[in-house]
Structure 1
Amino acid sequence: MNNQFKTVALLAVLSGLLIAISYWIIGGTGGLIVGIGLAAVTNLFSWYQSDKIALSVYHARPVSETQAPGLYRMVQRLSQRANLPMPGVYIVPNQTANAFATGRDPEHAAVAVTEGILNILSEDELEGVIAHELTHIANRDTLTQAVAATVAGAISFLAQMVSYSLWFGGASSRESDKSGNIFGVLLTVILAPIAATIIQLAISRTREFSADAGAAKLTANPRALAQALQRLEATAKQRPLNANPAFEPLLIINPLSGKFLGNLFSSHPATEARVEELLKLEQQLLRTGY
């Protein structure tokens, strides 16, 4: 519940930032309408197309039970246990070890794993990873991330549009200078996209802890997922899965997660923190005899 509250609060701040930057830069009711309209259009597009775009970016190909029987049956078994519709199953032709889920809702979802992850994880570790991705689907995190990404993108687009107008719209820039607003506009152009990115990534980090906890309960084996995360981080540092940075929050592991200031710009919590939480869950499950 705490993570759900954090997510709602962060999304509210992100949406408020979009409206505020539109109002500040464009001005008045017109700015408000532009901000809301831009958010609506981008979110509508992401609602229907985010899964196709993500799968295309990573060159994921669909597989059937005949083509990948072990993986397909694992996804099928865990989906039934989680009371979810069977998602599409995809394999990414890449030796990097990683996985992700996408889709606007459980009825239009997909789970994708790389060839690399199939090669290095044991069966129970892979099960923990699949359960993690299915929890993202059950929690509708894939939609949450699409909304956060598109609103953040809209903010960046507005800021970029204004920066062009400041460079090439000399007259309007001089007018702003006379009114004393030019410094405020410049600060907005610079800081708003940074703030939007930080909030978007904070939403992603919050959802990762929830997905880890859901996977632990679904498999009743938190340690297997903890071991998988450690193994994935070690291999991902050597061979990162390069793609559009906008889709990094979808991945189960991000090798660029750091400490201190670096955490602000990381799409995932530190693996050490996730492992620690999973081992705590293991102790709780042992005490309750789950």
Structure 2
Amino acid sequence: MNQVKTVALLGLLSALLITVSYWLIGGVTGAVLGIGLAALMNFVSWYSSDKIALAAYRAQPISPNQAPGLYRMVQRLSDRANLPMPKLYIIPTAGANAFATGRDPEHAAVAVTQGIVNMLPEDELEAVIAHELSHIKNRDTLTQAVAATIAGAISFLAQIVSYSLWFGGGSQSDREGSNPFGLLLTLMVAPVAASVIQLGISRTREFEADAGAARLTGNPRALARALQRLEASARQMPIAANPAFEPLLIVNAIPRQALSNLFSTHPSTEARIQNLLKLERELGTSFSVR
């Protein structure tokens, strides 16, 4: 069901890009350009999603000699999940977070911050890595990168046209016969709508990755404990990065207490923990809280 929902949301996001191009650029020419832009963005995301995301967080590759324990952990979990060993990266920040990226399991990467490696005990770090490997196995890494790229293109297009209207007035011939009210509404609503759809895609994938991690490690409570620690750490030491790529992270880079579920990149930590504890009961396992 979540897979169907994700495909539907991605289709809606691409349709929104085409519609925005129709209104902001004008008529059939704009719609055709929007289709071309959507296709181009999807191709770029498919081929370069790992490079884009890793660059956004300034992640640096690490070798087995630099982090032998982490490599052994990832290799063990990858073998258990029947996945190729992903490339490993470290994000040089004291903030605690992690993400996975890549167009498919053969071109995947897992990036962890220095802070999360230092903060979490081994079983909780293993649970976080398992969560990221579940994203790779479900191909969420590509889905989220495509969503982020298209949403970013919509916002960028709206911003460019807005600047044109404010400072240059735009080309009247380009928008001949366009509805000024529709144009204004598109400028205001389209970026918000794109963000809402992108965030909806992100939330549908997090519950699946949590469940996959719990089954991979056999220890749902370890991930529940890790999520609690990570949320508390993010409040004290948020990670500054491009917000378009925040859905890739295991928890929000900057927690937002007053943010409604509609505008959240992730389900609430409380809801995720409750799901994990429910899964623990279903699996018939029990682990003590530290």
Structure-1-length-normalised TM-score? 0.91
Q: Residue 228 of structure 1 aligns to which amino acid in structure 2?
A: A
Q: 1:221 to 1:182 in 2, by over 3 A?
A: same
Q: Residue 234 of structure 1 aligns to which amino acid in structure 2?
A: A
Pairs within 5 Å for 1:71-82: 71-82=70-81
Q: Which residue of 2 aligns with 1:254?
A: 252
Q: Give 1:202's match in structure 2, choosing from 176, 200, 203.
A: 200
Q: Which residue of 1 aligns with 2:284?
A: 286
Q: Within the alignment, does 1:91 sit opposite 2:122 as a pair?
A: no
The one-character-per-residue Cα deviations of 1:205-237 (angstroms, maximum 9, x if unpaired) are 111111101111111111100000001111111
> Does the CA-based 8 Å contact 2:108-2:136 persist in structure 1?
yes
Q: Which residue of 2 aligns with 1:132?
A: 131
Alignment partner of 1:113: what SS?
A: strand
Q: Which residue of 2 aligns with 1:54?
A: 53
Q: Residue 169 of structure 2 aligns to which amino acid in structure 1?
A: G
Q: Which residue of 2 aligns with 1:212?
A: 210
Q: Which residue of 2 aligns with 1:101?
A: 100
Using the TM superposition, give the Cα deviation of residue 194 of structure 1 relative to its aligned residue in structure 2, in angstroms: 0.7
Using the TM superposition, give the Cα deviation of residue 69 of structure 1 relative to its aligned residue in structure 2, in angstroms: 1.2
> Does the CA-based 8 Å contact 1:39-1:150 persist in structure 2?
no
> Does the CA-based 8 Å contact 2:26-2:178 persist in structure 1?
no
Q: Which residue of 2 aligns with 1:182?
A: 180
Q: Within the alignment, does 1:6 sit opposite 2:35 as a pair?
A: no
Q: Which residue of 2 aligns with 1:151?
A: 150
> Does the CA-based 8 Å contact 2:231-2:255 persist in structure 1?
no
Gaps of 5+ in 2: 286-290
> Does the CA-based 8 Å contact 2:83-2:105 persist in structure 1?
yes
Q: Which residue of 2 aligns with 1:172?
A: 172
Q: Give 1:269's match in structure 2, choosing from 263, 267, 270.
A: 267
Return the alpha-carbon distance in structure 2 between the equivalents of residues 236 and 250 of structure 1.
15
Return the alpha-carbon distance in structure 1 between the equivalents of residues 209 and 171 of structure 2.
51
Alignment partner of 1:94: what SS?
A: coil
Q: 1:171 to 1:19 in 2, by over 3 A?
A: closer
Return the alpha-carbon distance in structure 1 between the equivalents of residues 27 and 80 of structure 2.
52
Alignment partner of 1:26: what SS?
A: helix
Return the alpha-carbon distance in structure 2 between the equivalents of residues 88 and 180 of structure 1.
49
Q: Which residue of 2 aligns with 1:17?
A: 16
Q: Which range moved further: 268-277 or 37-46?
A: 37-46
Q: 1:16 to 1:260 in 2, by over 3 A?
A: farther
Using the TM superposition, give the Cα deviation of residue 122 of structure 1 relative to its aligned residue in structure 2, in angstroms: 1.3
Alignment partner of 2:63: what SS?
A: coil
Gaps of 5+ in 1: none
Aligned sequence identity (%): 71
Q: Which range moved further: 56-65 or 106-115?
A: 56-65
Return the alpha-carbon distance in structure 2 between the equivalents of residues 255 and 16 of structure 1.
29
The one-character-per-residue Cα deviations of 1:218-261 (angstroms, maximum 9, x if unpaired) are 11111100000001111111001111112211111115444665
Return the alpha-carbon distance in structure 2 between the equivalents of residues 242 and 255 of structure 1.
7
Runs (4+) off by over 6 Å: none
Using the TM superposition, give the Cα deviation of residue 126 of structure 1 relative to its aligned residue in structure 2, in angstroms: 0.8
> Does the CA-based 8 Å contact 1:259-1:270 persist in structure 2?
no
Q: 1:59 to 1:156 in 2, by over 3 A?
A: closer
- After superposition, the CA RMSD in angstroms is 2.1
Using the TM superposition, give the Cα deviation of residue 136 of structure 1 relative to its aligned residue in structure 2, in angstroms: 0.6
Return the alpha-carbon distance in structure 1 between the equivalents of residues 105 and 203 of structure 2.
21
Using the TM superposition, give the Cα deviation of residue 172 of structure 1 relative to its aligned residue in structure 2, in angstroms: 2.1
The one-character-per-residue Cα deviations of 1:71-112 (angstroms, maximum 9, x if unpaired) are 101100000111111101112222111111111111111111
Q: Which range moved further: 254-263 or 151-160?
A: 254-263
Q: Residue 169 of structure 1 aligns to which amino acid in structure 2?
A: G
